[in-house]
């Protein structure tokens, strides 16, 4: 069963490599797309937090305390990153890019835990959970790639880092397999912290970037933002 879990989580991780298609797009054209991807990511992060993660833990004791703690934790981490990388001069990579990687790390680890827990219940449930997570990950990974580019990473580095964080799903699957008897506590805390983090990244970093644009395209950015929210809601219904 462990091998099955590893294969399933590895397949989910490989979805991050969809961003390779952006390598073929010229730099000038890609720069025009970046703010659209940032808007999509803001919508997807908010939708993921409110339609996927929070509902999973809404019945748990002190669930929303952990959401707030997650929000505060991401705020503290960002302040630390800003001080470390930006206080001595120009910040070449925006802190929200690192924050997005950290949020993705937690989210993908959680996906691995969910897949492992599902397979340990039954094979059909494990397959269903894997398919559901793959469907959910497609817009998430593409938008995350856009955020990394917009934050200052090169194309190749953004793809590599996106794939590296995606591999934490495999780690989550292995941890979930060995801690299956005690993973209920973990499954109630991690989604809450991730939800708080996603809300923080979207509201504190990504939406303000959208607000900087005062051109006619800002209306389209807002529509893409709403599309990200609606998309995650619809995917939640499918799951």
Tens digit of each residue's pLDDT (9 = 90 or more) over 75-92: 887 777 655 555 555 556
pLDDT for the residue 56: 77
User: Would you give the DSSP letter of residue 53?
Assistant: I
> Which residues are within 8 A (CB) of 29 and not within 5 positions of it... i.e. 6 or more apart?
none
Rg of the Cα atoms in the chain: 17
pLDDT for the residue 88: 53
Instruction: Quote the CA–CA distance of 157 and 43 in Å, as a whole number.
Output: 24
pLDDT for the residue 155: 81
What is the band of 178 on the pLDDT scale with cuts at 50, 70, 90?
Answer: confident
Torsion, CA 100, CA 53, CA 196, CA 49, rounded to 10 = 70
Question: Is pLDDT above 90 for 225?
Answer: yes
Question: Is pLDDT above 60 for 103?
Answer: yes
Q: Where are the alpha helices (DSSP H) in the chain?
A: 2-14, 27-48, 54-57, 63-86, 95-121, 123-151, 155-166, 168-178, 183-200, 207-211, 217-238
70, 194 in Cβ contact below 8 A? Answer: yes
- Cα–Cα separations (whole angstroms), residue 108 to 64, 165, 178, 219: 21, 7, 17, 31
7, 192 in Cβ contact below 8 A? Answer: no
Decide which of 129 and 43 is more confident. 43
pLDDT for the residue 222: 92
Decide which of 97 and 203 is more confident. 203
Question: Is pLDDT above 90 for 197?
Answer: no
Question: Is pLDDT above 70 for 93?
Answer: no
pLDDT for the residue 61: 77
pLDDT for the residue 118: 74
Could you state, in order of their start, the residue ranges of all structural domains in the chain?
32-238
- Cα–Cα separations (whole angstroms), residue 172 to 168, 187, 215: 6, 11, 43
Percent of the chain whose predicted confidence (pLDDT) is above 90: 6
User: Would you give the DSSP letter of residue 19?
Assistant: G
What is the band of 223 on the pLDDT scale with cuts at 50, 70, 90?
Answer: very high
- Cα–Cα separations (whole angstroms), residue 187 to 42, 46, 164, 184, 234: 24, 20, 22, 5, 23
Decide which of 101 and 83 is more confident. 101
Question: Is pLDDT above 90 for 193?
Answer: no
Decide which of 35 and 96 is more confident. 35
């Amino acid at each position: 069963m462990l091998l099955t879990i590893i294969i399933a989580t590895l397949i989910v991780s490989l979805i991050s490599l969809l961003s390779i298609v952006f390598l073929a797009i010229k730099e000038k054209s890609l720069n025009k797309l970046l703010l659209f991807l940032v808007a999509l990511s803001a919508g997807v992060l908010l939708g993921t937090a409110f339609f996927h993660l929070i509902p999973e833990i809404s019945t748990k004791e002190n669930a929303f305390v952990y959401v707030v703690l997650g929000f505060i934790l991401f705020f503290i981490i960002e302040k630390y990153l800003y001080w470390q990388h930006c206080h001595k001069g120009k910040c070449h990579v925006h802190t929200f890019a690192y924050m997005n990687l950290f949020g993705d790390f937690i989210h993908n680890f959680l996906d691995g835990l969910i897949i492992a827990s599902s397979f340990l219940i039954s094979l059909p449930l494990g397959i269903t959970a894997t398919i559901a997570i793959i469907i959910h990950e497609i817009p998430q990974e593409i938008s995350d790639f856009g955020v990394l580019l917009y934050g200052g990473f090169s194309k190749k580095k953004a793809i590599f880092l996106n794939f590296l964080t995606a591999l934490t799903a495999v780690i989550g699957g292995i941890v979930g397999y060995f801690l299956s008897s005690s993973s209920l506590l973990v499954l109630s805390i991690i989604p809450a912290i991730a939800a708080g983090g996603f809300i923080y990244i979207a509201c504190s970093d990504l939406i303000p970037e959208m607000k900087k644009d005062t051109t006619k395209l800002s209306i389209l950015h807002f529509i893409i933002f709403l599309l990200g929210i609606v998309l995650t809601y619809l995917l939640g219904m499918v799951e």
